[in-house]
Amino acid sequence: MREELVARVMACSWTELQPHHERGALLLVAPELDLVEVAEAVSLDHSGPVKRWLAEGRVARPAAHHVLDWEERPSRFQFLIVQPFVLAQELDATG
């Protein structure tokens, strides 16, 4: 499954993610986490690590200040779709 997820990682701008945010499906993944690892845990319903990341705020819906920042400056993201969620990680934040 990991190889399949790696092959599905794509890049986009905030404009392309915004509709997913507006419908409540966007989850932001902290830069220190591996996007594919998070997607795999979500897709396989591994609730232990997912609950821990949510509790720690390392996987969360974007805060209003994030959205304002992304609307004011060009930002690039890598993302994966794991129904019903879109998991995204800011590329600028990961270096």
**pLDDT tens-digit map of 26-66:** 999 999 999 999 999 999 999 999 999 999 999 999 999 99
Query: What does pTM read for this prediction?
Result: 0.91
How many Å separate Cα 67 from the centre of its chain? 13
C-alpha–C-alpha distance, residues 35 and 53, integer Å: 12
Mean of the pLDDT values across residues 5-27? 95
Whether 95 shows a pLDDT value over 60: the answer reads: no
The per-residue pLDDT for 93 is 55
The per-residue pLDDT for 94 is 43
